[in-house]
């Protein structure tokens, strides 16, 4: 996994003391005056993350922004400004306005200002959206805070998320609600699959997790394998003290397992007969 190696390298880089959270989480957090700036970006590439056959151009623009906002949500941040890099093959240059339309729609929905952009030619459609926003220091949720005996929760159903719906609503409000009302010890958005993204929390928190097979909520048509390993769900995955389970479930969140102390990060699944088996750490991950 070259990306993991590279992230390790990035994490070792010297950072200015104003850098509150550096590389390796869903977004960077920078102290600026009395404020905490949030800064993150996400690429959306033709034939890697989407195909032209299955997507309208407007939806491509929409989703490119939504993916970046999902990273902001994972930190419980408030997105404010976006910069958009768009590269297109010449044959699609007239489609740029359609892509922009989708970008505008989601920007209006989330009251974002589109403050900058770069355009170029390329062989494949390439979008990279960088977001600038704010966070409140004591409500920032990282990957590294999971505690022993925390419950593990998701904000929605999992698996087969890309079937037929390209647009999704990044869970900005849910993250705000959660951090306003509960102790949320760790959080990530599920972009590369439940198991892999949970593993990222466990690695950073130095913990292990046990999932309950019959608790994992499935999208229509999805099997348990889809929920565990499909990418592109864009639901929140978070841990919170187990005592919050009842209230969180009433509010529509799903309790799917619990955190345990461990020397080594790992994910297990407990089936209905109470048998616990280790899960292979893999997911939708492209390098």
Interface of this chain with a second copy, residues 64 to 103, rule: CB under 8 A: 80-81, 83, 85, 87-88, 90, 93-94, 96-97, 100
The yes or no reply on residue 53 touching a second copy (CB under 8 A) is: no
Q: How far apart are CA 264 and CA 223, in angstroms?
A: 28
The yes or no reply on residue 137 touching a second copy (CB under 8 A) is: no
H or E element, residue 224: helix 224-229
Supply the DSSP symbol for 32.
Answer: E
Please, what is the minimum distance in Å from the beta carbon of residue 157 to a second copy?
Answer: 26
Q: How many CB atoms lie within 10 A of CB 231?
A: 19
- Give the CA angle between residues 167, 171, 172 to the nearest 5°: 120
Please, what is the minimum distance in Å from the beta carbon of residue 91 to a second copy?
Answer: 12
Sheet containing strand 19-21, strands side by side: 19-21, 28-32, 35-45, 126-135, 78-88, 113-121
The site for a second copy, by CB under 8 A, has a size of 65
The yes or no reply on residue 125 touching a second copy (CB under 8 A) is: no
- If DSSP codes are grouped into helix, strand and coil, which group holds residue 279? coil
Residue 47 vs 148, nearer CB to a second copy: 47
Where along the sequence are the contacts to a second copy (CB under 8 A)? Answer: 2-3, 5-7, 9-10, 13-16, 18-19, 22-23, 27-28, 30, 32-35, 37, 39-43, 45, 47-49, 80-81, 83, 85, 87-88, 90, 93-94, 96-97, 100, 104, 107, 111, 113-124, 126, 128, 130, 132, 286-287
């Amino acid at each position: 996994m070259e990306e993991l190696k590279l992230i390790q390298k990035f994490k070792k880089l010297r950072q200015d003391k104003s850098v509150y959270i550096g590389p390796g989480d869903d977004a960077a957090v920078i102290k600026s005056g009395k404020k905490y700036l949030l800064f993150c970006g996400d690429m959306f590439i033709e034939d890697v993350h989407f195909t032209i056959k299955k997507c309208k151009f407007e939806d491509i623009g929409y989703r490119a922004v939504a993916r970046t906002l999902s990273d902001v949500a994972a930190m419980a941040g408030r997105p404010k400004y976006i910069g958009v890099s768009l590269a297109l093959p010449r044959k699609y240059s007239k489609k740029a306005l359609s892509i922009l339309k989708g970008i505008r729609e989601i920007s209006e929905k989330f009251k974002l200002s589109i403050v900058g952009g770069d355009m170029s030619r390329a062989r494949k459609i390439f979008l990279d959206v960088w977001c600038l926003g704010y966070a409140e220091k004591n409500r920032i949720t990282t990957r590294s805070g999971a505690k022993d005996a925390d419950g593990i929760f998701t904000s929605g159903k999992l698996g087969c998320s890309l079937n037929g719906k390209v647009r999704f609503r990044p869970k900005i409000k849910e993250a705000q609600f959660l951090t306003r009302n509960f102790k949320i010890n760790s959080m990530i958005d599920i972009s590369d699959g439940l198991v892999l993204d949970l593993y990222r929390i466990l690695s950073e928190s130095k913990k292990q997790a046990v999932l309950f097979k019959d608790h994992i909520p499935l999208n229509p048509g999805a099997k348990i394998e889809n929920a565990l390993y499909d990418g592109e769900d864009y639901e929140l995955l978070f841990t919170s003290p187990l005592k919050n389970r009842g209230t969180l479930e009433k509010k529509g969140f799903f309790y799917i397992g619990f955190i345990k102390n461990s020397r080594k990060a790992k994910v297990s699944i407990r089936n209905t007969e109470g048998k616990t088996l280790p899960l292979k750490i893999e997911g939708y991950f492209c390098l």
